[in-house]
Structure 1
Amino acid sequence: MTKQWFDQYSEELWVTAVQVATVWTSPSSPRTIDEDGLNNPTDIDGWISSLNYELTVALSDENRIQTQTLYGEAVIVTETRDDWAHVVIPTQPSVKDERGYPGWMPLHQLKKVNKQGWQREESAAVTSQNAWLETEDGQKTMKLSYMTILPVETKAGARVKVNTPHGYYYLQENDVAIFRSDQGLPKQPGAGLLKTGTPYVGLDYFWGGMSSFGYDCSGFAYAMHKANGYLIPRDAGDQAQSGQQIPYERLEPGDLLFFAYEEGKGKLHHVGFYYGNGKMLHSPQTGRGIELIDLKGTKYEKELCAATRYWQQTEEQS
């Protein structure tokens, strides 16, 4: 999984140099109140908490945000305009661009590195909801999101020394999973997707969100698949088209459910995980947190329009 997209890059590689970088529709999309999400370093907690309901809804209703990238995530820069870079993100497949998800990022949230100098045989994926990047003497410097992935330099006692856009830093070993960079994280069965997703019940929805500071519906689906070894499209519409189509009577836990307006006949607008026993785990909408609900008697029961599966049976059925 990792090597397949990494080969797209030239010898010069642009990587995300903030905890979470928001990818905007255009350089004019951000507002004054979005400054904490535009700076380097960013303060994602501060930014999200500063937005009331109306300001948060406007991010989607006014088509301001496209997606987000995590610290160390690589992008292809296709154009620069003043202090902005137009990018595509190969780790986030999309029909919008065959190379990856497109959008605009502040140029100062990116760092140019040498591809050969960046790569390592092993990588570390953050498996805690958040993990602190530490200096050699243990000072906490940056609060990272779940599923931030960084190249491993070496293991150092109870910590892992990682390569970052800012040089070598450390992560607590119990906050990460280490895997071979050319193989990706191990693939898990459908139950694994739910096991990794359930701890996020209550986390506030955030439009365009791709981090454990806040996910949107398809970002939540994407991240839980990523944690279990699967690279799936970033958007719900693409997720519905690319996976294995599953009849409703054959649904199994970990399958994705899709919903459309006009009682399933209109535009597709939502995705969630089938949990089993008629339940769904999903990130619903602005103003609500990730939740586990019974589908029966809800609007979702009427709007169900498709189901797909990306997970595979594995030897470990835990």
Structure 2
Amino acid sequence: MSREYIVRVPVATIWTNPEAPRKIDEKAVSYPLEMKDWLKEMTTEERRLLCDNNLVQSQVLYGQQVTVKEEKGEWFHVLVPEQPSSKDDGGYPGWLPKNQVISREKTDVTDTTASVAVTAQTAWLYEGTEPVLEVSFQTRLPLVNETEDWITVKTPDGDRLIKAADAEVIDSQEESENVNGEKLVETGAAFLGLQYLWGGMSGFGFDCSGFTYTIHRTFGITIPRDASDQARQGELVERASLKKGDCLYFAKEEGQGRVYHVGMYYGDNKMIHAPSTGKGIEVVEIGTTKYDKDYCTARRFW
């Protein structure tokens, strides 16, 4: 029988199986999590192997819910309901350490109309005047109270404070009404230079589809987690009719094979994207890249 759990680390990595983490990944499967140290200590080649050896599937943010399907030792096989996937109707599947989640029944995190979304690349949660946890962009937590300088939120660890400058109070009913392509591109541009991370879904690092997924989520739009699934949904847009914020998909065999990459149209035949391991988020002219010949389709979700 499935059970609901809440992520209690800033970013929980979803692994392909419990055997996937290497010695270098110990800080990524720990509690407390040492996210920045993990990323800093990995070489470019070690980062690349997360993809090449199919070690990592996705990530989940602090306070997000996962559904546990089964247990294996110190690991849970989970689904991420907020990340649609053709792999499972219940959400994106994979494995995470038990120590990085807490049973929903043991938390005070409840669903409310208003929630608080982190708008900074990363931001600190405070207990009193003490910074206690650095969380990611688009971490969403229920609102308790707000003043001019501080917002109080409910977390898996109890009530915490976040600087008002690092977050915004959102109403889920109004959210998607305020989006357009210009805003999507502007939001994405705030991450220029951020290093690519395979499976990345946070302000600590994105992969290509994690980037487009998260930018849309900022405005209350949920799109599939993977590029191949995204390419089959949304409104089809002809290449000659592209607008800023449209998602561009690229496939093997000069656009006829498997979709392997996604970027977001930036205007003037340019795109903003999370390219590959060893590179940061960038804006490139499509016609000058290897992707141009592999152009497959474009989709609009806004």
**TM-score bin, normalised by smaller chain:** over 0.9
Matched, 1:105 2:96: yes
Q: Which residue of 2 aligns with 1:257?
A: 248
Report the CA distance between 1:185 and its aligned residue.
Answer: 5.9
Matched, 1:143 2:137: no
Question: Is the partner of 2:154 in helix, strand or coil?
Answer: strand
8 Å contact from structure 2 (residues 61, 202) kept in 1: yes
Aligned-residue identity in percent: 42
Alignment of 1:218-229 (within 5 A): 218-229=209-220
Amino acid at match of 2:6: V
Report the CA distance between 1:86 and its aligned residue.
Answer: 0.7
Partners of 2:237 and 2:104 lie apart in 1 by 42
Q: Which residue of 2 aligns with 1:76?
A: 67
Pairing partner for 2:110 from 85, 105, 118: 118
Report the CA distance between 1:183 and its aligned residue.
Answer: 5.7
Q: Which residue of 1 aligns with 2:79?
A: 88
Q: Which residue of 2 aligns with 1:53?
A: 44
Q: Which residue of 2 aligns with 1:3?
A: none
Q: Which moved more, 1:96-105 or 1:180-189?
A: 180-189
Q: Which residue of 2 aligns with 1:192?
A: 183
Report the CA distance between 1:174 and its aligned residue.
Answer: 1.4
Gaps of 5+ in 2: none
Alignment of 1:112-191 (within 5 A): 112-114=103-105, 118-136=110-128, 138-181=129-172, 186-191=177-182
8 Å contact from structure 2 (residues 7, 61) kept in 1: yes
Report the CA distance between 1:92 and its aligned residue.
Answer: 0.3
Pairing partner for 1:246 from 232, 237, 244: 237
Gaps of 5+ in 1: 1-9, 312-318
Partners of 1:43 and 1:86 lie apart in 2 by 22
Report the CA distance between 1:186 and its aligned residue.
Answer: 5.0
Q: Which moved more, 1:185-194 or 1:50-59?
A: 185-194
Deviations 1:227-246 (A, max 9, x none): 12211100000110011111
Question: Is the partner of 1:292 in helix, strand or coil?
Answer: strand
Change (3 A) 1:33 1:116: closer
8 Å contact from structure 1 (residues 187, 229) kept in 2: no
Matched, 1:211 2:211: no
8 Å contact from structure 2 (residues 109, 154) kept in 1: no
Amino acid at match of 2:51: S
Question: Is the partner of 1:262 in helix, strand or coil?
Answer: helix
Partners of 1:194 and 1:149 lie apart in 2 by 21
Change (3 A) 1:188 1:181: closer
Matched, 1:37 2:28: yes
Deviations 1:249-289 (A, max 9, x none): 11111000001122212221100001111001000000111
Deviations 1:185-242 (A, max 9, x none): 6540111110100011111000000001000000000010011221110000011001
Question: Is the partner of 2:26 in helix, strand or coil?
Answer: helix
Q: Which moved more, 1:224-233 or 1:110-119?
A: 110-119
Report the CA distance between 1:68 and its aligned residue.
Answer: 0.1
Amino acid at match of 1:238: D
Question: Is the partner of 2:46 in helix, strand or coil?
Answer: helix
The alignment covers a number of residue pairs equal to 301
8 Å contact from structure 2 (residues 228, 258) kept in 1: no
Matched, 1:282 2:282: no
Q: Which residue of 1 aligns with 2:6?
A: 15
Change (3 A) 1:91 1:34: same
8 Å contact from structure 2 (residues 108, 158) kept in 1: no
8 Å contact from structure 1 (residues 66, 208) kept in 2: yes
Deviations 1:113-172 (A, max 9, x none): 238852233110000111100002x10011111000001111245111111111111111
**TM-score normalized by structure 2?**
0.96
**TM-score normalized by structure 1?**
0.91
Runs of 4+ with >6 A deviation: none
Partners of 2:246 and 2:210 lie apart in 1 by 15
8 Å contact from structure 1 (residues 192, 228) kept in 2: no
